[in-house]
Structure 1
């Protein structure tokens, strides 16, 4: 169990690191007019906006704070005292830090989206092998996070899937913030 918790913390810290770095790099890009790490400020702004709106506002401030869905380990079917409620139903079973939807999954998906955006911005500057491994990491972090949250009894599958979908939808809505790619890969 310690290994699973260690994985959870490592993935969560990775996500937080990218969120904080994007804020710092957006500030630097705005203040200096230069692209930190050769990544345009608009990319850093996009990443920060996805974290702020998806993970911060929609998932944590609105859904988790007001939906009231008990976590799997808290419902009677799994030895707890709370009543199970389906994901589409607002419930009084949980007062705070509730199950619907997964904040860590949203952060992991935001990380994957952010890493993908960075890799896209650096496309012609990075060897194809690095691009490939970076994209594998961008997909693996959300997948591992979702599996960990379900396996640990902290979230239902629906919490994880809907969190990922909400985060992806917000990223699509925010995607016009990204700069257009003009330089083809040599």
Structure 2
């Protein structure tokens, strides 16, 4: 995997997380609500299609449960199964990254108990936003998609492939903001977790990466 790519993603996510918590979370949520752009069909319909295709409507764990065995089979039976170079370890690491990111996200939700923007607007109480049993921080959707696509993007050999793969979780994050289901810092926290987990698992990708042999 491209370690530099993951480091840049982690730095961007950390910057957005800090910016959201310190400054942008509430102004951005208010602007989305007051602008009339909330729940735009482009985002709600697009997110619905992605959730259906990738199994999120069934379970947070479905994609990882498929990718991890596929990656293991590809590595163990590499001599018999012809796959593009590096695909099997990329699938395995992506599945592991996603599973760990989702697990950490669930711990965060239970620990921080932050209200969602919609819940905040209903209550209007700025003093009771955290540790009140909410489920906003970090974002579950962003954890699912960044956990899956960031390591796949880091393993992609070409820039256009990385850009295409990263565009998917970025779209999801924007959709969750537009739907007022999350603050900016919620989705940024999920992206940061995914990038850090992928960085920690990167040595496994390097270890399992097939070596090219001279002819």
TM-score exceeds 0.5: yes
| SS of corresponding position for 1:178 | helix
Matched, 1:4 2:36: no
Mark the CA change 1:104 to 1:9 in structure 2 (over 3 Å): closer, same or farther.
same
- Classify 1:139/1:41 alpha carbon distance in 2 versus 1 (closer, same or farther; 3 Å): closer
Partner of residue 89 from structure 2, selected from 11, 33, 42: 42
How far residue 111 of structure 1 moved from its aligned partner, in angstroms, is: 2.7
| 1:119-151 CA distance string (max 9 Å, x none) | 24xxxxxxxxxx343222122112211111111
Unaligned runs of 5+ in 1: 121-130
Change (3 A) 1:14 1:177: farther
* 1:103 corresponds to: 140
Measure the CA separation in 1 of the matches of 2:127 and 2:71. Answer: 41
Aligned residue for 1:174? Answer: 201
TM-score w.r.t. structure 1 length? 0.72
Matched, 1:142 2:189: no
State how far apart, in whole Å, the 2-side matches of 1:133 and 1:26 are.
23
TM, length-normalised to structure 2: 0.64
**TM-align CA RMSD:** 2.8
Partner of 2:31: none
5 Å matches for 1:157-168? 157-168=184-195
Between the two proteins, the alignment pairs up a number of residues equal to 163
In structure 2, the gaps of 5 or more residues are 1-39, 56-61
Summarize the Cα distance change of 1:72–1:81 in structure 2 as closer, same or farther, 3 Å threshold. Answer: same
Query: With CA pairs under 8 Å and 6+ residues apart, which has the higher RCO, 1 or 2?
Result: 2
The aligned counterpart of 2:100 is: 53
